[in-house]
């Protein structure tokens, strides 16, 4: 049996051709899967009953299964999905004025083991396939009905650039088949330098965010073990070489951890590190997960850090964690199963 969602656009065209059907049937299939969110072939009413019966003998439409859905007091929603092999992944829906952003996962678990992230503590299990990434969007859009996701961030479970081929194919489908603008998609990486410069050559020109979190190798090695393989000098050089169109910037995410990276001296080192780069910073006060022993800096420290950056003409926004009452940080809901 062929899972129609697993097929790329070219593969769907070939499938329809092999069925002896006209080319326009492939366009209809794409419309029903990616715009109408059909969960089974029998829902495709543009096809005759005989055609649906015939296709059901050789193909099906897979679907993520929602096994938990939680809604926060701030409007954030978290979805825990079961995959066909019974592994689980998370997505987070974040409303913000006229935007509805979905944070999607790219892997089951993560191999990077960042100090502040619960996902990595459970280890890496497997990469998500392209259709499993895209299906998070389809499943949520089908569920919320009256609204539609406007923005996508690859900031959920996993490191997107360590699942490069599937993420590139997912990005193509999100832009070409679902119809979300590439300017409204952000991919966040911990700094997989070997893939960063390949991304704009292979995928739609989405926004790039880099999880930085330190301004020295000594501190970043403690927070993010990936830095031992791709140290700051290599990472920043890749950021300088990253092709940016006029008006575009790289976003640096900076999780602030008291006693590690949140002092004014850390801010000064960060200013020096990013000198000359077209970028903006998101300052994210730590969201301590259950069992963690890291501490969130005081509000006064966070504001002083931001003011130091402002003083040196650096754009820096403080991003408060959303959905703390529903375990919305990466890996929390899955870890509690």
pLDDT (tens digit, 9 = 90+) per residue, 16-75?
A: 999 999 999 999 999 999 999 999 999 999 999 999 999 999 999 999 999 999 999 989
- Give me the residue label for tokens 């730590």: 286
Quote the pLDDT of residue 172: 97
Taking 70 as the threshold, does the pLDDT of residue 300 lie above it?
A: yes
Quote the pLDDT of residue 13: 96
Quote the pLDDT of residue 204: 96
Residue 328's pLDDT band (boundaries 50, 70, 90)?
A: low
Quote the pLDDT of residue 291: 52
Residue 42 tokens read as 């029998």
Quote the pLDDT of residue 105: 98
Q: Could you read off the pLDDT of 6-17 as tens digits, one per residue?
A: 999 999 999 999
| Residue of 103, 110, 239, 330 marked active site | 330
Taking 60 as the threshold, does the pLDDT of residue 245 lie above it?
A: yes
Average pLDDT over residues 245-253: 94
Q: Could you read off the pLDDT of 81-106 as tens digits, one per residue?
A: 999 999 999 999 999 888 999 999 99
Quote the pLDDT of residue 327: 62
Residue 179's pLDDT band (boundaries 50, 70, 90)?
A: very high
CA dist list (Å): 209 to 180, 272, 279, 326: 18, 19, 9, 25
Quote the pLDDT of residue 82: 98
159 assigned to active site: no
Domain boundaries, the chain: 2-60, 65-335
Taking 90 as the threshold, does the pLDDT of residue 80 lie above it?
A: yes
Average pLDDT over residues 242-268: 96
DSSP 225: G
Q: CA neighbours within 13 Å on the CB side: how many for 175?
A: 17
d(CA 285, CA 258): 9
90 assigned to active site: yes
Q: What are phi and psi of 310, to 5 degrees?
A: -60, -40
Taking 60 as the threshold, does the pLDDT of residue 335 lie above it?
A: no
Bridge partner list, 3 = 60
Quote the pLDDT of residue 321: 73
Residue 271 tokens read as 């200013």
Query: Global pTM?
Result: 0.93
Residue 323's pLDDT band (boundaries 50, 70, 90)?
A: low
Q: Could you read off the pLDDT of 119-159 as tens digits, one per residue?
A: 888 899 999 999 999 999 999 999 997 789 999 999 999 99
Bridge partner list, 152 = 102, 185
Residue 121 in contact with residue 113, Cβ under 8 Å? Answer: yes
Residues in Cβ contact with 240 at an 8 Å cutoff, skipping those fewer than 6 apart = 276, 277
Q: CA neighbours within 13 Å on the CB side: how many for 45?
A: 2
Taking 80 as the threshold, does the pLDDT of residue 333 lie above it?
A: no
Quote the pLDDT of residue 5: 97
How many contiguous H segments (helices) and E segments (strands) does the chain have? 13, 14
Mean pLDDT score across all residues of the chain: 93
CATH of 65-335, one of 3.20.20.70, 3.30.365.10, 3.40.190.10, 3.40.50.300: 3.20.20.70
Taking 60 as the threshold, does the pLDDT of residue 282 lie above it?
A: yes
Quote the pLDDT of residue 329: 59
Quote the pLDDT of residue 288: 73
| CATH classification code of 2-60 | 1.10.150.530
Quote the pLDDT of residue 97: 86
What percentage of the chain exceeds 70 in pLDDT? Answer: 95
Quote the pLDDT of residue 147: 84
Residue 322's pLDDT band (boundaries 50, 70, 90)?
A: confident
| Residue of 77, 90, 159, 253 marked active site | 90
């Amino acid at each position: 049996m062929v899972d129609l969602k697993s097929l790329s656009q070219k593969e769907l065209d070939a499938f329809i051709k092999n069925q002896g059907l006209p080319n326009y049937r492939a366009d209809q299939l794409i419309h029903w899967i990616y715009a109408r969110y059909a969960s089974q072939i029998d829902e495709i009413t543009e096809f005759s009953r005989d055609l649906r019966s015939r296709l059901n003998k050789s193909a099906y439409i897979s679907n993520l299964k929602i096994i938990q859905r939680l809604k926060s007091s701030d409007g954030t929603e978290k979805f825990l999905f079961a995959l066909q092999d019974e592994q689980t992944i998370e997505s987070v829906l974040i409303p913000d004025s006229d935007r509805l952003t979905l944070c999607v996962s790219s892997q089951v678990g993560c191999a990077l083991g960042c100090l502040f992230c619960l996902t990595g503590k459970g280890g890496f299990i497997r990469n998500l396939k392209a259709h499993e990434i895209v299906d998070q969007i389809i499943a949520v859009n089908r569920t919320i009905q009256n609204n539609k996701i406007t923005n996508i961030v690859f900031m959920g479970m996993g490191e997107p650039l360590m699942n490069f081929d599937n993420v590139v194919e997912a990005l193509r489908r999100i832009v070409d088949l679902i119809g979300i603008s590439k300017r409204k998609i952000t991919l966040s990486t911990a700094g997989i330098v070997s893939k960063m410069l390949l991304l704009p050559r292979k995928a739609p020109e989405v926004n790039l965010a880099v999880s930085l979190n330190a301004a020295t190798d000594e501190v970043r090695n403690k927070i993010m073990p990936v830095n031992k393989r791709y140290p700051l000098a290599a990472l920043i050089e890749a950021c300088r070489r990253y092709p940016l169109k006029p008006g575009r910037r790289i976003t640096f995410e900076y999780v602030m951890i008291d006693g590690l990276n949140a002092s004014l001296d850390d801010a000064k080192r960060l200013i020096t590190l990013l000198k000359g780069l077209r970028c903006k910073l998101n300052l994210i006060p730590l969201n301590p997960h259950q069992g963690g022993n890291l501490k969130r800096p005081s509000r006064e420290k966070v504001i002083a850090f931001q003011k130091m950056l402002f003083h040196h003409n650096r754009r820096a926004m403080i991003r408060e964690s959303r959905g703390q009452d529903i375990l919305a940080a990466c890996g929390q809901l899955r870890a509690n199963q």
